[in-house]
Structure 1
Amino acid sequence: MPNPGMRRLLPYALTALIVILAAARLLWIDREPICKCGHIKLWHGQTMSAENSQHIADWYTPSHLIHGLLFYAALWLVARRLSFGWRLAIATLVESLWEIVENSDAIIERYRAVTISLDYYGDSVLNSVSDILAMILGFALASRLPVWASIILALGFEILTTWLIRDGLALNVLMLIWPLQAVRDWQAAL
């Protein structure tokens, strides 16, 4: 049986393995490793661009940080007896599965059909891994911040992205599940 120190590291090793396996799966389903443009940017701020969701961070990165805040809250409610490390591994698995599903042909076509993302052809693997890491950052922040600060952070990011790019986590989910033409028209007017 492994020593206690090794047991404490196990969920973190599993978390890293989940991220690696998600990247491998995305490569397996022919997602581009990096932007087809051939270079890597730390930040790409143009949403109506073929380079959106292709670099390390973009205007959708805050929504993944919010995922981390929300996953921390949900897992605190339903699995608070699990250690932080095991809850992080679960959250990373959920986020990684979402990145794989989000980059499936069916979801990509859904985004293209019901949102203003007509030039969206999926995330690069670099962007997907960065999104998973943003979720991990949000999860870690939620573990350290008071609840009120996590709420303000989530609302602040939603308000900021809604104001600047007319999109965010809530609008993204709405338009994926129940697209509204009025929202699509409002988003396209930017």
Structure 2
Amino acid sequence: MGRVPICECGTVKLWHGAVQSSENSQHLSDWYSPSHFIHGLIFYALAWVAARRQPLGARLAGAVFVEALWEIAENSDAVIQRYREATIALDYYGDSVVNSVADIGFMVLGFLFASRMPIWASVAVAIFFEGLTAVLIRDNLTLNVLMLLYPLDAVRVWQSGL
């Protein structure tokens, strides 16, 4: 799909915290990693409802498959263009391969966390991550989905910090 294996800067960082940067979504983790952890929480809940009699490994494999499909879709030209049109991600040009693999890894961590913790802990972690990223970078999973599906000017203005 034309994605670079690693950041064109030539390095792989454990963490890259600058959202408005050409290196965003190019390294192992960034401010969107919590969203992928939350994907794991959500996928665990959905798999528990739909396939709770299946072994955990089979449910996890299904979640990895869905997350991998999302990574492919998210890095398609159509979705990248939608991000640029509907969100504040004007310079977004897709994830590096290493970032996509790490995103799947964060989803796996979320899935396994949810499999071992009480429901209230998963809900609390999701709310904490959503609140943290909303406050610190004015973006999160909820806002990302909202702005991709139904962009609101008021949210875009707030996200831009104006």
Query: By the TM > 0.5 criterion, same fold?
Result: yes
| Equivalent position of 2:65 in the other structure | 93
| Identity level (%) | 64
Q: Where does the alignment leave 5 or more consecutive residues of structure 2 unmatched?
A: none
| Equivalent position of 2:50 in the other structure | 78
Offset at residue 125 of structure 1 (A): 0.4
SS at match of 2:25: coil
Determine whether 1:49 maps to 2:3.
no
Offset at residue 62 of structure 1 (A): 0.2
Distance of 2:153 and 2:95 partners within structure 1: 25
Q: Pick from 125, 134, 137: which aligns with 2:106?
A: 134
For normalisation by structure 2, the TM-score amounts to 0.99
Distance of 1:75 and 1:183 partners within structure 2: 32
Q: Per-residue CA shift, 1:113-159, capped at 9, x if unaligned?
A: 11111100000000000000000000000000111001000110000
Determine whether 1:155 maps to 2:127.
yes
Offset at residue 45 of structure 1 (A): 0.4
Distance of 2:142 and 2:39 partners within structure 1: 11
Distance of 1:117 and 1:151 partners within structure 2: 27
What RMSD in Å do the two structures reach over aligned CA positions?
Answer: 0.7
Size of the alignment, in residue pairs? 162
Distance of 2:139 and 2:84 partners within structure 1: 15
SS at match of 2:93: coil
Offset at residue 32 of structure 1 (A): 0.6
For normalisation by structure 1, the TM-score amounts to 0.84
SS at match of 2:15: coil
Offset at residue 88 of structure 1 (A): 0.2
Determine whether 1:107 maps to 2:47.
no
User: 2:92 is matched by which residue type in structure 1?
Assistant: Y
User: 1:187 is matched by which residue type in structure 2?
Assistant: Q
Distance of 1:144 and 1:114 partners within structure 2: 37
Q: Where does the alignment leave 5 or more consecutive residues of structure 1 unmatched?
A: 1-28
